[in-house]
A and B are shown apart, each in its own frame.
Chain A
Amino acid sequence: MSEGVNEADRPEVLAGEGTDLFSKFDPVITMRRDLLDSGVTDPFNLVMEKVLSPTRAICNGRDTILLGTYNYMGMTFDPDVVAAGTQALAEFGSGTTGSRVLNGTYQGHRECEDALREFYGMDHAMVFSTGYQANLGIISTMAGKGDYIVLDIDSHASIWDGCALGNAEVVPFKHNDIEAMEKRLRRIPEGAGKLVVLEGVYSMLGDIAPLKEMIAVAKKYGAMVLVDEAHSMGFIGPNGRGVAEDQGVLDQVDFVIGTFSKSVGTVGGFCVSNHPKFEILRLVCRPYVFTASLPPSVVATAATSIRKLMHGADKRARLWRNSRTLHAGLLEQGFRLGTSETQSAIVAVIMPDLERGATMWEALLREGLYVNLARPPATPANMTLLRCSLCAEHSEDEVETILGMFQRAGKAVGII
């Protein structure tokens, strides 16, 4: 912690022990202030003053290229999507003011679920208010007392929180380690229910899971399988259904979880499944029942976007081209990346430490580039990462510009 001039400004709360219920956050407060005291712009308090397109916004008065928004397919300004939302807003109003199981299911919610069933080629689809709630709801409801959840240690917060909300035994295994997963499944007592929870793409490093092997093992031990495909929809797999489809095992997956907040370009979450009893979840899944449904405009934009993603071959090709160009370019410049080859549309640049990570983040912002700063404890192995997510709408020129920005900033900060 730095000393001197800042001392007087420090709030009293850090002084005493057990002052009040906020005291447990003192270490986070200190960590955050130490970072800001070093003079960097607060990386977690950025405001987009204007959004010009899926790839550009005005931040701090500067025209900024967006490279950390998960807006993979660039659907947020698609004219058909915007028109569908505008029309629904005018015809159905600004919100449903109700739960899906009471007054909150409009025609648009049904149409959105129809679009999902078609997109995934599955019998059932359930739309939640966010992807976070979809994981929360399905995991906590499916795995009950006495059941076992076997999950990857690098799982997303919403998966962990789904475990915490339920009453099942929670058993994590080392990231993408098939053998570690099998050992745990083998040791589960006979007769206990089992749910294996995996992700297609892991969003911190942008690496994909060996789903084919892992799902085969899960099935060998009689487990049900849930795969979160948040970061693959629309551009991985022959029909854009995700990593499980790409590896030919989608028919073995009991629950696919997804979100509208990335490729689809709006907000919302979902679960699709072929299980014959799936529909009962609408009555027993608390994060589905006890919250208001998505506004009509949102489900209208989602349904339109999902249907367009079924025919998004061009966008898909551009997204992969951009991802490969950026990945190869950054490697060549000497940056350390999360994966040695392009596995997804996420390129994670590994920073030596939080301080230089934050400095690099700020240097990029000054250059006119927004990336996602991820820092411990949110990251695997307590790494500091600059996570870049590509968009189909980034032009080839923009990707070259981005590479130039990385090179200048990286040299200035002394990382390359």
Chain B
Amino acid sequence: MGQMGYRMTLVEAKQGTATLDMTGARRFAPPHQASERHAMDRAAIDSRIRTLIEPFNKKAVTITDATTFAGDLEFDSLTVMDFVAEIEDEFDVIISMNQQAEIENYGQLVTAVGTLAGDDA
């Protein structure tokens, strides 16, 4: 049948072992180390992401830096894709799956976006 893993399994999400991405991207190579020299203001990025995440936070979980996407927010793969696309559009960046694989919680996402967006600035 071979269809398992055509996409990703929710199994990973339910177990809380998955990172932001659930398409098996954990096997991908680590992301580039981007420079943080021009990092955007963290508080500003945080508030923009907080607004973006609202419609995806179905259970109105209180979001802290430690909130995990797969575990606490119960994001499945489709939600991850839509949410990542919103952030990419908002900040005009690419968050490749390799990079997503390193992002497990909210705080890490804010840091990553700061680095990526700052790089371009």
Contacts and interface: CB of A to CB of B under 8 A. Distances in A.
B40 interface: no
B61 interface: no
Interface stretch (A182-190, A226-234, A300-308, A336-344): A182-190
Interface stretch (A117-125, A166-174, A205-213): A166-174
Q: Chain B interface mostly helix, strand, loop or mixed?
A: loop
A171 B98 CA distance: 9
Nearest to B119: A189
B97 A378 contact: no
B73 interface: no
B16 to A, nearest CB: 11
A101 interface: no
A167 B7 contact: no
Interface string B19-49: 0000111011101000000000000000000
A157 B94 contact: no
A234 B19 CA distance: 42
Interface stretch (B51-59, B84-92, B105-113): B84-92
Given A174-B85, A187-B92, A160 B5 contact: yes
Contacts of A171: 94, 96-97
Given A24-B15, A164-B27, A377 B97 contact: no
Contacts of A15: none
A188 B32 CA distance: 13
B53 to A, nearest CB: 19
Contact count band on A: 35 or more
A145 interface: yes
B10 interface: yes
Contact of B98 (A24, A27, A160, A169): A169
A169 B81 contact: no
A170 B17 CA distance: 21
Given A24-B15, A378-B4, A184 B81 contact: no
B96 A153 contact: no
Interface of B: 1-11, 14-15, 17, 23-25, 27-29, 31, 76-78, 81-82, 85, 88-89, 92-94, 96-99
25 contacts: A24-B15, A27-B14, A132-B2, A145-B29, A157-B3, A161-B5, A163-B97, A164-B27, A164-B28, A167-B28, A169-B94, A169-B98, A170-B98, A171-B96, A172-B97, A184-B88, A187-B88, A187-B92, A187-B94, A188-B94, A377-B8, A377-B10, A378-B3, A378-B6, A382-B78
